[in-house]
Amino acid sequence: MLGTRLVFGLMMVAGLVLALVVDEQFAPFYPCWFVLATVALGLAARELIGLLSETAAAPSGNSVVGGVLALVIANWAPHLVAVQNHSLNLSALDYDPAGPLNVLAWPFLTFTAVIMLGFLVQGLQFERPGRTMAKIAGSILAVAYLGLLSSFTLQMRWFSGHHQGLLALVFLFSVAKGADTGAYAVGRLFGRRKLWPSLSPGKTIEGALGGLAAGVLAALIVVAIAHYGLAAPTFTVAGAVVYGVFVSIAAQIGDLMESMIKRDCLRKDASSSVPGFGGVLDVLDSILFAGPVAYLIWMGIGP
């Protein structure tokens, strides 16, 4: 199991980096990133719908999938509008759509529309009292968890500067999945004391510390590659350590929160579609929580 996880983990990171490098030729449209995001979040949405269907908050499948995909599109919209305005020498917006905070208004406004439409759809389908509010709550939760949290990760692709969008994503995935894999490996080999048994009986304090160390090491490795291999602006060593610590912690919290969802739904894995990990949601769980933290750190102390 550990060997399978390591092999598939390295393959996924390598495939992601290859797709991001190819996408550099198509800036700012990034079609490979769009396809990867659409497929991954679409599959994760289906898995989350299956999990929540076992609870009182069973969501509307169409509303969740449609809402998540709408948020993916909303993350591309401001950049496409900016290109169009530039080509026409127009300024249709009152703010810079490439601004790392302003641009988040697009997915957040889309999320507002999803909430309103969710209520409307359930109103049109309403037949008898007892489940409608729970269904709306479950649908909004699923869209927020997958679509809203992932917006921070999606927007990193447009960070300005020499290879900065590429580096930001490589940093995030390397540190988050490094922490995830390190925690799993150290926990399996040396774990003794339970970390949070009510949520995940298998996770240990030793594993968490191992994941933290692995995440920091991954950050330092990426810094070295960026500095010596790409000659690109990047974190200092101290900055990389800070990034590694906080993103690793957020990634492990994200893993624990998805464990809470699965435990509440009486399931061990979201699915069995990814060898060594479980489902697509089991791969993305750490990224969903680590993405916002990485985004803010990059804005604060990044290159």
In tens digits, the chain (303 residues) has pLDDT values of 667 777 777 788 888 889 998 998 998 899 999 999 999 999 999 999 999 998 888 999 999 999 999 999 999 998 888 777 666 555 444 445 456 778 888 999 999 999 999 999 999 988 888 789 999 999 999 999 999 999 999 999 998 776 889 999 999 999 999 999 899 889 988 988 999 998 888 899 999 999 999 999 999 999 999 988 888 889 999 999 999 999 999 999 999 999 999 989 988 888 888 887 888 999 999 999 999 999 999 988 877
156: DSSP letter = G
- What are the structure tokens assigned to 240, written together? 């990389």
Phi, psi dihedral angles at 194 (to 5 degrees): -70, 140
98 C-beta neighbours (distance < 10 Å), count: 15
Q: Are 172 and 153 in contact (CB under 8 A)?
A: yes
Q: Are 302 and 192 in contact (CB under 8 A)?
A: no
> Among 38, 296, 10, which residue's Cα sits nearest to residue 173?
10
Phi, psi dihedral angles at 57 (to 5 degrees): -95, 40
Burial class of residue 111 (count of CB atoms within 10 Å of its CB; 0-12, 13-18, 19+):
buried
Phi, psi dihedral angles at 90 (to 5 degrees): -115, 165
202: DSSP letter = E
- Name beta bridge partners: 204: 194
| pTM of the predicted structure, to 2 decimals | 0.90
Q: H/E element holding 282?
A: helix 280-301
- Name beta bridge partners: 196: 200
What's the pLDDT at 94?
Answer: 46
> Among 243, 209, 133, 173, which residue's Cα sits nearest to residue 15?
173
74: DSSP letter = H
Round to whole Å and give the CA distance between 192 and 203. Answer: 9
What's the pLDDT at 95?
Answer: 43
Crossing angle (nearest 10°) for helices 2-23 and 31-52: 140
Query: What residues have CB less than 8 Å from 18, skipping those under 6 apart?
Result: none
Q: Are 29 and 81 in contact (CB under 8 A)?
A: no
β 194-196/200-204 pair status:
antiparallel
- What are the structure tokens assigned to 202, written together? 């298998």
